[in-house]
Chains A and B, each alone.
Chain A
Amino acid sequence: MRIEAIGCEPLQLRRVHLENSHTLDVYRRNGGYEAIQKVLNGMSPDDVINEVKKSALRGRGGAGFPTGMKWSFVPKDSPKPKYVVCNADESEPGTFKDRYLMERDPHMLIEGMLIAAYALGSKTTYIYTRGEYKYLIDIMDVAIAEAREAGLVGNNILGTNFSCEVFTHTGAGAYICGEETALLSSLEGLRGHPRMKPPFPAVSGLYACPTVVNNVETLTAVPDIIKMGGEAYQKLGTEKSGGTKLWSVSGHVNSPGVYELPMGYDDMEKFIMEDCHGMLGGKKLKAVIPGGSSVYIMRADQIIGKDVRMDYEGLVAAGSSVGSGGFIVMDETVDIFESTKNLTEFYKHESCGWCTPCREGTDWLVKVFKRIESGGGRPEDAQLLLDLCDNIEGKSFCPLGDAAAWPIQSAIKRFPEDFRPRISTDGDTIHTDKRITGIDVD
């Protein structure tokens, strides 16, 4: 497992290779808690928000929503308490960056949360970590205790009148609790069902109070933004997608791991073939899912020789998206029908069951996949799968439904050869109606 910055100075990964990088001592000796210091010496909350706006930082959790803008939605005048919640539920298949950030550099997250709390006038913050990451919760608890000792968490932080608590909270095995409103339901001790938007969390979130939910990587970016200034941070990346991004690389490459790339890194092919030391066992590249399971799958020929730029705009142009940066590389041995079935089973297992299309749809999809796998495929199955996806996409209560549809839609359109032999008698015709996928993939 490799953890490396490519094409830029390590920012998020600056300390990960230092010995005892998780300790307050090492963190401080390497520029830690300077940002909060700077903030408390005379930056106003609005100054902070403006810097974040200038940085063009976009949410790293998957939705990619501009962070500064999200922060500015929080009503200043509201008499209610305000909450900052860190989304450390990291359950998107192929994504494991937050895990290493928290394991190796917990204080960076704490500092990020303190700055966010200051900017938003929050006195209480929670880190919602997926239950399976228990060892990370223990690491965070130790770090928080250290920080409290040093007067960095709790009352009158660094002797100022800014007070803020940081608490850890555990999930208990539910992907949907990564969705911000479901996360808040879960944090309130309820079943992890998403909630209606509007009202958005920024207005009415945790305990019906103004709440900002941010991904770990988003919050850990904040200290550097404050230190180097929003503009400088933005310049590391592109105009619309500022700064650097962590990519969790898995699958058939020689060096899987967490890579920090500047936004707009010029070439996905180079990234795979050189930076990740090429394909495992020299096999041929077949497909890449660049942003965690919930994005369109890409064919090798959409990547090879296409200089795919690795940022929000670049990937959309290339027919997929950044998502959570869970970069799954598949070689020629992988059967895309099987991999799609695998992901569909994931979504069925993780569907919260609240709304009809996602609950019943994913169940139905899996049943069709299983039938086809066991030799019961029919020519109209491709059409059926796409039609079911179409009835889920855009109709479900939360984006999980859409996320379940996208891999199938793109897989059938882009890898018909892996479906055709299974579902058509003459080995050739597969009935798919281009109109209904609603996506233009080739």
Chain B
Amino acid sequence: MSTQIVNIQPLSQPVSLGVEPATFSPEVEAEIDAHLAKYPVMRSAILPLMFIVQRERGYLDPPGVLYLANRLKLRVTDIWEVATFYSMIHTSPVGKYHIQICRTLSCKIRGAGKITEYCSQKLGIKPGETTADGRFTLSEVECLGSCGTAPMMQINFDYHEDLTPQKIDQVLEALP
């Protein structure tokens, strides 16, 4: 029926955020539109979009959060509550390469502990830390579904399995 029937406009955002929303290239915008097109409800696209913002900006920084809030017609609090629930969404910076070593049972009994130790020494950081040059972040994570090829680690999105110290050396050397 007629245009007078209310359609909710973007909600007024807090003034105290004090930043401008992030902007993205037409290609990225198109990618975002494609995700939005999948769902009858915009909010459903929140996780895919968070990954895109993270890919483009390294992590979910305030401009990114404000962008998402405006794009999805949500409040920044809504973005925040979701972002902080999921372990793969980062609201603070992470290294260029995020080394995630599985610590759960199947990997543990096949020597995950040693692998973590080795990486820790090699990079000179403890799990949860980032190297000074911001190149590596080391994390221990829960089961990544590589139990049959334990021990394993995931660097950003890439799986590296049946790990040995030698293999770790090769993998890390090979990184651009």
Residues of A within 8 A of B (CB): 1, 81, 90-96, 98-99, 126, 130-135, 167, 169-175, 186-192, 207, 248-252, 256-258, 289, 293, 326, 328, 330, 334, 338-339, 342-343, 346, 349-350, 352
Return 18 A-B CB contacts under 8 Å, by A number: A92-B143, A96-B148, A131-B51, A135-B158, A169-B47, A169-B48, A172-B87, A189-B46, A189-B72, A207-B40, A250-B147, A252-B109, A256-B150, A328-B106, A328-B109, A334-B109, A338-B108, A342-B103
Residues of A within 8 A of B147 (CB): 93-96, 248, 250-251, 256, 326, 328
What CA separation (Å) do A135 and B146 show in the bound complex? 14
Distance in Å from the Cβ of B54 to the closest Cβ of chain A?
10
What CA separation (Å) do A93 and B102 show in the bound complex? 10
What CA separation (Å) do A175 and B145 show in the bound complex? 12
A93 lies within 8 A of B159 (CB): no
What CA separation (Å) do A328 and B142 show in the bound complex? 16
B85 lies within 8 A of A174 (CB): yes
Residue among A99, A135, A342 making CB contact with B104, cutoff 8 Å: A342
Given contact pairs A289-B105, A350-B142, enumerate 11 new A-B contacts (beta carbons under 8 Å). A1-B149, A96-B148, A130-B145, A131-B86, A170-B47, A172-B89, A174-B86, A188-B43, A248-B148, A328-B147, A343-B105
Residues of B within 8 A of A189 (CB): 41-47, 72, 82
* A-B pairs with beta carbons under 8 A, tally: 141
A94 lies within 8 A of B106 (CB): yes
B142 lies within 8 A of A95 (CB): no
Residue from B42, B51, B105, B149 having most chain A Cβ neighbours under 10 A: B105
B81 in contact (CB, < 8 A): yes
Residue among B38, B103, B106 making CB contact with A250, cutoff 8 Å: B106
User: Chain B 92-126 against A: per-residue CB contact (8 Å), 1 yes, 0 no?
Assistant: 00000000000111101110000000000000000
B85 lies within 8 A of A175 (CB): no
Residue among A90, A93, A133, A289 making CB contact with B142, cutoff 8 Å: A93
Residue among A90, A170, A173, A343 making CB contact with B145, cutoff 8 Å: A90
Residues of A within 8 A of B72 (CB): 189
What CA separation (Å) do A249 and B106 show in the bound complex? 10
The closest CB in chain A to the CB of B144 belongs to: A132
Within 120-176 of B, Cβ neighbours of A (below 8 Å) are at 141-150, 154, 157-159, 161-162
Given A189-B41, A189-B43, A99-B109 contact (CB < 8 Å):
no
Residues of A within 8 A of B22 (CB): none
Residues of B within 8 A of A249 (CB): 148
The closest CB in chain A to the CB of B46 belongs to: A189
Residue from A134, A135, A252, A334 having most chain B Cβ neighbours under 10 A: A134
B11 in contact (CB, < 8 A): no
A135 lies within 8 A of B47 (CB): no
B145 lies within 8 A of A133 (CB): yes
Residues of B within 8 A of A93 (CB): 104-106, 142-143, 147
Distance in Å from the Cβ of B163 to the closest Cβ of chain A?
13
The closest CB in chain B to the CB of A257 belongs to: B148
B28 in contact (CB, < 8 A): no
Residues of B within 8 A of A91 (CB): 142-143, 145
B87 lies within 8 A of A173 (CB): yes
Residues of A within 8 A of B142 (CB): 91, 93, 175, 346, 349-350
B43 lies within 8 A of A132 (CB): no
What CA separation (Å) do A201 and B162 show in the bound complex? 39
Residues of B within 8 A of A248 (CB): 147-148
The closest CB in chain A to the CB of B161 belongs to: A1
Distance in Å from the Cβ of A411 to the closest Cβ of chain B?
12
B66 in contact (CB, < 8 A): no
Distance in Å from the Cβ of A404 to the closest Cβ of chain B?
13
What CA separation (Å) do A391 and B175 show in the bound complex? 49
The closest CB in chain A to the CB of B110 belongs to: A251
A94 lies within 8 A of B143 (CB): yes
Residue among A172, A346, A352 making CB contact with B88, cutoff 8 Å: A172
B143 lies within 8 A of A346 (CB): yes
Residues of B within 8 A of A207 (CB): 40-41
Residues of B within 8 A of A169 (CB): 38, 44, 47-48
The closest CB in chain A to the CB of B83 belongs to: A172
B69 in contact (CB, < 8 A): no
Residues of B within 8 A of A175 (CB): 142
A95 lies within 8 A of B148 (CB): no
B109 lies within 8 A of A339 (CB): yes
B53 in contact (CB, < 8 A): no
What CA separation (Å) do A143 and B138 show in the bound complex? 34
Distance in Å from the Cβ of B4 to the closest Cβ of chain A?
26
Distance in Å from the Cβ of A183 to the closest Cβ of chain B?
12
A251 lies within 8 A of B106 (CB): yes
The closest CB in chain A to the CB of B86 belongs to: A172
Nearest 9 A-B pairs (CB), nearest first?
A250-B147, A189-B43, A173-B88, A172-B86, A173-B87, A250-B106, A189-B46, A256-B148, A93-B143
Residue from A90, A131, A326 having most chain B Cβ neighbours under 10 A: A131
Residues of A within 8 A of B65 (CB): none
What CA separation (Å) do A386 and B41 show in the bound complex? 44
A258 lies within 8 A of B148 (CB): yes
Residue from B45, B148, B157, B159 having most chain A Cβ neighbours under 10 A: B148
The closest CB in chain B to the CB of A339 belongs to: B105
What CA separation (Å) do A186 and B40 show in the bound complex? 15
B47 lies within 8 A of A132 (CB): no
B82 lies within 8 A of A190 (CB): yes
Distance in Å from the Cβ of B147 to the closest Cβ of chain A?
3
Residues of B within 8 A of A257 (CB): 148
